[in-house]
Structure 1
Amino acid sequence: MMTTPKSVSSPLPIRGPIPLSAAQEGQVKELYYARVRRKCANEIREFAACAMNRTFSATWVCRQQRLAMNSCMIAHASQKEEDAAREEWFATMDQRRKAREEKEKKKAEQEKFYREWWDLDKGPSRGADTKRE
């Protein structure tokens, strides 16, 4: 007797409404790392102060601060934090789009000014580019 297979759920949950490109995923990762660093700012600052002006000896002298910094970052580097960074990225999509549109508008205005300044809109000049008959 043949049985029908049970419905198989996807092993990876969907984390955003649309799939992201590699560049967009990189932006999400940057937000994620910034959020983790913000939560562990005190530990990072203590380690940096200890390691200042040290080279090889920082490994032994600043061991306690390094372990504290690493344990803090590991504790906060969770899937929940990555999801929060992804949500933040999607929430700021409109702001990034508006900024990009303003930048393109400003670039077009600057190009128009450049072309007017150098008289590039009037066509070829009467120099070496014209043919003699």
Structure 2
Amino acid sequence: MTTPTEQPAQPKPYNLRNPLPLSAAQESEVKQIYYKRVRTLCAPEIKAFAECATNRTVTATWVCREQRLLMNSCMVARAQPEEEDRAREEWFATHAERRRAKEEELAKVERRREEVIRMMRADEERRRNEGK
């Protein structure tokens, strides 16, 4: 019951970009897609920094400063909420495909397990017959 000073709770609008609440593992998968997309967008800057830092240890900090700053500024510029939304959309778009692949893999494992059990039973039967 609401008091005169309280406003009744408004229902939350349905979020089309995130139609389901995701588990922590699913959110982790979305983050992996997100980071991969950002790294892909900044690939030239990352490559330039990596080439500069090759065969350097501590000196890479100041020798490759310009490349590092370019790489970091690219990553910060590209790592926006819009990019995370795109990663989330990609996750939902490929969700059914990943589920189907996982089910196929589980079915394959189950078929192999049944085959191994059948082979073990045949081997046991053969050993019993040899012992008689």
User: Structures share a fold, TM > 0.5?
Assistant: yes
Output the CA distance in 2 between the equivalents of 1:53 and 1:3.
71
What SS does the corresponding residue of 1:28 show, helix, strand or coil?
helix
| More helix per residue | 2
Q: 1:85 to 1:45 in 2, by over 3 A?
A: same
Q: 1:57 to 1:113 in 2, by over 3 A?
A: same
Structure 1 residue runs of 4+, over 4 Å off? 2-10
Q: Which amino acid aligns with 1:76?
A: R
For normalisation by structure 1, the TM-score amounts to 0.81
Q: 1:69 to 1:9 in 2, by over 3 A?
A: farther
Give identity over the alignment, percent: 52
CA RMSD of aligned residues (A): 2.6
Segments of 5+ residues of structure 1 without an aligned counterpart are 127-133
CA offset at residue 50 of structure 1?
0.1
* Alignment of structure 1 residues 57-72 onto 2, 5 Å: 57-72=59-74
What SS does the corresponding residue of 1:92 show, helix, strand or coil?
helix
Segments of 5+ residues of structure 2 without an aligned counterpart are none
Output the CA distance in 2 between the equivalents of 1:39 and 1:89.
18
Output the CA distance in 2 between the equivalents of 1:64 and 1:114.
59
Output the CA distance in 1 between the equivalents of 2:5 and 2:34.
42
* Alignment of structure 1 residues 51-130 onto 2, 5 Å: 51-119=53-121
For normalisation by structure 2, the TM-score amounts to 0.82
